[in-house]
Amino acid sequence: SLLQEKMKAVGATWICLCISSVWAHDNQLDAKPQLILADPVPCDQGDQLKDPTGPVTSHILDTSIGQPASGVNITLYTLENNQTWTAVCTRITDNDGRAKQFLTKDQFAVGTYRVHFDTKPYFDVLGVKTFYPYVEVYVNIEDPTSHYHISLLLNPFGYTTYRGT
């Protein structure tokens, strides 16, 4: 991917501080970045074996390069008592630009949720300036028995989002 090529171009040791996650690359030709620090908001893995994706998933595609956006922090928040946002879990997109297991089915309830995509560190790694340092999507959940896939089509100067399947 373009991200991996940019990482190789910077030399023997590459480190990117992505808010609360550190990635390292050791200049091996086929090496992929490896997460060194834990996710900033730990996620409850209670029913992961029963449901390997969870009721909320996400996918980011970088439309400027036609590839998945890997290594992006995504944090899911819930609105408590219509006044306070509480972080539920942070995930990092995989090599396919996907994130899953934000919460368990038992945790998922009717309410308003916010999905925060931390896009600036992703574009910083690519050496690309972006107009949007982050993207936030607010969703209203009325049926917690359904699956919600929140997709983001992203480029440095625009984005669109939709509920996928």
E strand map for 26-147: 34-35, 56-62, 67-68, 73-80, 84-92, 98-99, 111-118, 135-141
Residue 5 gets which letter from DSSP? H
Q: Using CA atoms in the order 48, 149, 73, 95, what is the torsion angle rounded to 10 degrees? A: 80
Residue 144 gets which letter from DSSP? T
Q: What is the pLDDT of residue 75?
A: 96
Q: What is the pLDDT of residue 34?
A: 36
- Residue 37 reports pLDDT greater than 80: no
> What is the rounded average pLDDT for all residues in the chain?
78
Q: How many angstroms separate the CA atoms of 1 and 64, rounded? A: 13
Report the DSSP beta bridge partners of residue 89. 76
What is the amino acid identity at position 42? P
Q: What is the pLDDT of residue 21?
A: 32
Q: How many angstroms separate the CA atoms of 120 and 86, rounded? A: 22
Q: What is the mean pLDDT of residues 2-29?
A: 37
Helix (H) or strand (E) run with residue 110 in it = none
pLDDT over 70, % of the chain = 68
Strand, coil or helix: what is 165?
Answer: coil
